[in-house]
Amino acid sequence: MIYSANFQKWGDEGDLKTAKWMFGRVKKLNPSALEPTWYDWANDIRLMRQIDGRTHEQICALFDWANKDSFWHQNILSPRKLRKHFDELIVRSQKPKDEPKVQVDTVERDSAFSRLIGSRSKPQNRIEEIALELAGKTGIRRMSEFSGRQAWNSIWKQATEMSQEAQQ
């Protein structure tokens, strides 16, 4: 068992083992990642098990999927984020591979990046609203232009998918 100093947060050996496995995956993406507060991570995993009814296997499998996804690998870097987005990630992970891909208008995407991120203009349509919201969550304005554009490309694709799903 691992406990916080005030015994408010805790986890069992399996929770800590899962937390350490997850951090190992994070370190592969970002070798300079700082070591987490283990009782915080173990506590979030315990909550996923006890309150949300997840197993360690389900937690690890979904974290593994998110860790390999072109968008989610940069957003799901802790048990807390995994728990927050668990249901959405389940749906996205089960999406058939042969489902038609969305058509991304690269000119519109690049123009939107310049207007929304560079000039801080207001969104002109639903895709731009979604993309701007997702970009805010990733801290895109603090990234270099190169990194920001790379992140924007996957954010734009996800925003396009989300917009199309909402219309169906």
Q: Return the amino acid letter for 13.
A: E
What would the pLDDT profile of 81-126 be if each residue is shown by its tens digit?
999 999 999 999 987 665 556 788 899 999 999 999 888 899 999 9
The helix (run of H) or strand (run of E) holding residue 41 is helix 38-50
At 97 the pLDDT is 60
Q: Which two tokens stand for residue 36?
A: 């987490």
User: Mean pLDDT across the stretch 60-84?
Assistant: 94
| pLDDT over 80 at 135, yes or no | yes
pLDDT at 145: 87
- Domain residue limits, the chain: 2-93, 106-167
Rounded Cα gap, residues 157 and 96, in angstroms? 17
pLDDT in tens, 39-59: 999 999 999 999 999 999 999
Q: pTM for this structure?
A: 0.60
In sequence order, the 6+-apart residues with CB closer than 8 A to the CB of 19 are 11, 36, 38, 41, 42, 45, 79
Distance between CA 122 and CA 149 in Å, rounded?
18
Distance CA 102, CA 99 (A): 9
Residues 141-147 have a mean pLDDT of 87
Alpha carbons within 13 angstroms on the beta-carbon side of residue 121 total 12
Model pLDDT, residue 3: 76
Tokens of 111: 């123009």
